Amino acid sequence: MQNPFKPTAGATPPALVGRAGLLDEFEYGLRQGSGAPGLLTIITGSRGIGKTVMLTTAENVARNHGWAVISRTANPGFLARIGDDMLGLIDELGDGPPTRRVTAFSAAGFGLTTQLPPERAVDWRRTGDTLLRILDTKGTGLLITVDEIHAVDRTEISQLAADVQHFIRDGLPIGLIFAGLPAAVSDLLNEGVATFLRRADRINLHEAAINEVTASYRELFSGGGVSIPDELLNQAAEATAGYPFLIQLVGYYLWLEADKAGWTVNNDAVTKAIAAAQRRNVQVVVESALSDLSDKDRDFLAAMSMQDGPSTAAQIGQMIRSKPNVVSKYRNRLIAAGLIETAGYGKFDFAIPGLRQYLRS
Ligand SMILES: Nc1ncnc2c1ncn2[C@@H]1O[C@H](COP(=O)(O)OP(=O)(O)OP(=O)(O)O)[C@@H](O)[C@H]1O
Ligand SMILES: [Mg+2]
């Protein structure tokens, strides 16, 4: 029997745990068409919390409503690639002459300056306009999703936002969903590059509740004909802390252990699966997150790991013998990198499970 769990970045899991209702507003917007609030949405959350999977889910919802979808990651030149995608869709929809040859946007031409040159920007808007009018006559629309907007050049985001705002003003059926790390998204909105995005719906993703993880495991395993006692299911669910990547890892190794033991699971198998999942989480998430940090960043995190819960700037300043402005500089950098997050007034804590234990060991 095939292992249903998907412990890989961006891979759609066998069941979406803890996300019920989050896309209702968006789905309602698809039925309302142009200008509905849910059609403009920003998804935020720490690393591995399921942002990319949420985007994929929203894309599928849009397709089920007959909408066209363009899905891009925000790396340099992504706006031009969205332009190319739009031309492709116009050709596919078959109205009018092939456009690709005349106005292809390919990013290659303007290399490192990621902005569309002015004449291309006009073409971009015209292309979008043409596509949206075709879709409008068909009673559908276009959804654009942009992942990892924390990694992008602000000029491209603000240009995209300006164009989308323009389409909305013209009553055209467009939806836009961004996903990124929370701190970076806040910066983006506060800097005023795209004021119109402040009105977007915010979906901030969190860990799932443990009982939902248990219920999901019960369903997936019994669906595969494997019955596991409740207390073992619960033990496995607890070990995930509701963190989506760990939900997949623990599930994956539990399935593997069940397979080895002729589709039965005992205490020992659960212990083994949890250990394997935690090892893998450290390798994949923790070590890669730490790999591009400076020594000072590491000292900061090491000091945090000495606390059993959230830290304050004063505590860390004392431990690493640094002034408040230095502490706040490192704190902000680590927040932007998605490694730590604010945890109540003046406090911050690790944003990745297993990081504290790893740093202690
Ligand atoms: N709601 C969910 N329930 C169960 N598993 C999930 C859920 N959402 C995501 N996952 C799983 O968690 C892992 C991480 O998901 P995803 O890649 O979407 O996270 P992300 O927030 O985009 O991470 P990153 O910040 O690294 O881009 C994947 O293995 C995915 O299958
Ligand atoms: Mg992602």
Q: Residue 181: its pLDDT value, please? A: 86
Q: Residue 112: its pLDDT value, please? A: 46
DSSP assignments along 138-200, one per residue: TT--EEEEEE-GGGS-HHHHHHHHHHHHHHHHTT--EEEEEEE-HHHHHHHHHTTTTGGGGGS
Instruction: For residue 157, give the nearest of 60, 82, 216, 55 by alpha carbon.
Output: 82
Q: Compute, in angstroms, the gap from residue 47 CA to the centroid of ligand 2.
A: 7
Q: Residue 15: its pLDDT value, please? A: 96
* Domain map (residue ranges) of the chain: 24-204, 210-287, 292-360
10 lines ligand 1 (CB under 6 A): yes
* Smallest CA separation from ligand 1 atom 25, residue: 47
Q: Residue 99: its pLDDT value, please? A: 53
Q: Residue 186: its pLDDT value, please? A: 80
Q: Residue 193: its pLDDT value, please? A: 67
Q: Residue 120: its pLDDT value, please? A: 75
Q: Residue 95: its pLDDT value, please? A: 61
Beta-carbon contacts of 127 under 8 Å, excluding residues fewer than 6 positions away, are 83, 86, 87, 90, 99, 103, 105
Average pLDDT by stretches of 10, the chain with 361 residues? 94 96 96 92 90 97 97 91 93 67 52 62 90 96 94 83 94 96 80 79 93 98 94 97 95 97 95 96 85 90 96 96 94 87 91 89 86
Helix axes 210-223, 244-260, angle to 10 degrees: 30
Q: Residue 314: its pLDDT value, please? A: 95
Instruction: For residue 46, give the nearest of 251, 157, 183, 200 by alpha carbon.
Output: 183
182 lines ligand 1 (CB under 6 A): no
Mutate to test the pocket of ligand 1, among 17, 217, 247, 254 (most ligand atoms within 8 A of CB): 247
Beta-carbon contacts of 254 under 8 Å, excluding residues fewer than 6 positions away, are 217, 221, 228, 236, 265, 269, 270, 273
**Which ligand is located closest to the Cα atom of residue 147?**
2
> Rounded distance, CA 250 to CA 252, Å?
5
Instruction: For residue 106, give the nearest of 130, 128, 125, 87 by alpha carbon.
Output: 87
**Which ligand is located closest to the Cα atom of residue 209?**
1
Q: How far is CA 255 from the centre of its chain?
A: 26
Q: Residue 24: its pLDDT value, please? A: 96
* CATH dotted code for 24-204: 3.40.50.300
Q: Compute, in angstroms, the gap from residue 122 CA to the centroid of ligand 2.
A: 31
Q: Residue 273: its pLDDT value, please? A: 98
Three-state secondary structure along 224-261? CCCCCCHHHHHHHHHHHCCCHHHHHHHHHHHHHHHHHC
Supply the DSSP symbol for 76. Answer: T
Q: Residue 119: its pLDDT value, please? A: 72
What is the fold of 292-360?
Answer: Arc Repressor Mutant, subunit A (1.10.10)
> Rounded distance, CA 291 to CA 267, Å?
35
